[in-house]
Structure 1
């Protein structure tokens, strides 16, 4: 593991992947992406594990793309897809993982970081944290599979509000809106995830793998076409001059 991503075993049969790039607030830096890829590969290869908890540090879960990467996409030098064929895309690692994944989003989840969290099988939110799909805040259409996973996991009405407006929600507000996930005080999110993971770890691994494969088959099958459509929209929306101006003036604000 890199220093910014660690794997621990807090309970028998439960792996905990912790993102803790405090210098970069868990944005998708090269170190974080590489660490996530290695962490999930390690967990998937160890048949002792029956459930995975994905979490962050302090008040940050995952902050999505770095400004440098977004500017590279604007300049036509990159995309949100992994550069090397065969390299997993970090945002879909929870979906592709064969065993159930719990996103313990104890902290802020922004853009692609929120998309990654929603690709998990279970989601636990924090009342104090902010959750935003802020792509349109910068003038470009959403990526990271968010146009499919948001409606699938949040319902169409709330997904449209997230994606079209780019607005920010507190976890407490999402609870009032009836979001279909537990919303806990930040200090209780990881404990709730551990309790859920322990209940999963009581089941046979093979049964968990087969049932998850059945439940997520449609989403897995649909995702490549969705990504193609998102990339096509980026070809139209990402290279507008306003996008660069907004990234330089608003990113991180």
Structure 2
């Protein structure tokens, strides 16, 4: 096992378990966690003995998205934000395009970039207490980490727009109906089931698995172009008054200005 402060990587019998490990902050992505994820994903891509990947969070949390305090205190200009998002896109693209199967095991929150991270997986398992949200608009931002590409491919364009524009939270049962979640599994059985699926996939033909993924993958430069546009849009959004106001209100525990109306 290679253990880093924020990310754990354990490779055993062809299965790499990649675990976000800052449960006290609901595994929110900060610069250290992002850097360590990039390092771990490079190691996975280079290790041809790895035949399947499990993506999980520790202690009842998957990933609560970006760390808002770290974002608010970054002090970057547009060029700095663009570089940060482009750097992040490198490892996100590596996950989406990985030629080996990825199983996400989602417990707790998968919001914002946490939802994007779950969507990089080929198969998503979730517990009944899992909660999902494309929450970016709550803080005046656009979806990132590939979400503008992955979410509409899973749920369709209109539903993706609704989830992004409402920024609403939805549970594991709705996520399953939408096609985001494959199976709902009890919390104490989540990793057991994820490991069983991953170990089964280890026995499959790696060439056939790779070709299945390749033929279902984005063609040409479609993914790269969309993620570059996503990074540019997010860099611009980071400098807007709407983003700064929304983040400050959240950090000061004030009611958000934007709320999706309840259905009547």
TM-score normalised according to structure 2 size: 0.82
Matched, 1:140 2:130: no
**How many matched pairs?**
250
Where does structure 2 lack aligned partners over 5 or more consecutive residues? 254-264
Check whether the contact 2:57–2:107 (CA below 8 A) recurs between aligned residues. yes
Which stretch of structure 1 is more off in the superposition, 189-198 or 171-180? 171-180
How far did 1:77 drift? 6.0
Q: Are 1:53 and 2:42 an aligned pair? A: no
1:139/1:3 CA distance change after superposition, 3 Å: closer
Identify if the C-alpha distance between structure 1 residues 27 and 92 changes in structure 2 by more than 3 Å, giving closer, same or farther: farther
- C-alpha contact 1:27 1:63 (8 A) present in aligned 2: yes
Contact 1:111/1:132 (8 A) holds in 2? yes
Label 1:179 to 1:209 Cα distance change in 2 as closer, same or farther (>3 A). closer
For the residue of structure 2 that corresponds to 1:144, the secondary structure is: coil
- What secondary structure sits across from 1:53 in the alignment? strand
Tell me which residue corresponds to 1:8: 10
Q: Check conservation: 2:54, 2:194, Cα contact below 8 A.
A: yes
CA contact (8 A) 1:73 1:79 kept: no
Mapped to 2, the partners of 1:73 and 1:149 lie a distance apart of: 30
Aligned to 1:107: 108
C-alpha deviation, 1:251, in angstroms: 4.9
* Residues 49-73 of structure 1: per-residue CA shift (max 9 Å, x gap): 2100011112211122111453348
The residue aligned with 1:25 is 26
Q: How many Å separate the matches in 2 of 1:236 and 1:49? A: 38
1:205-216 to structure 2, matched below 5 A, reads 205-216=206-217
* In 1: Cα distance, 2:252 partner to 2:7 partner: 22
Question: In the alignment, what sits opposite 2:256?
Answer: none
Separation in 1 of the partners of 2:237 and 2:158? 23
Mean CA deviation greater in 161-170 or 177-186: 177-186
Check 1:143–1:40 CA distance in 2 against 1; reply closer, same or farther (3 A cut). closer
- Aligned counterpart, 1:224: 224
Q: 2:86, 2:231 within 8 Å by CA — same for their partners in 1? A: no
Question: For the Cα contact (< 8 Å) 2:11–2:17, is it kept in 1?
Answer: yes
Checking the alignment, whether the CA contact within 8 Å between 1:103 and 1:120 is kept in structure 2 is yes
Q: What's the C-alpha RMSD, in Å, of the aligned pairs?
A: 2.7
Is it true that 1:246 corresponds to 2:246 in the alignment? yes
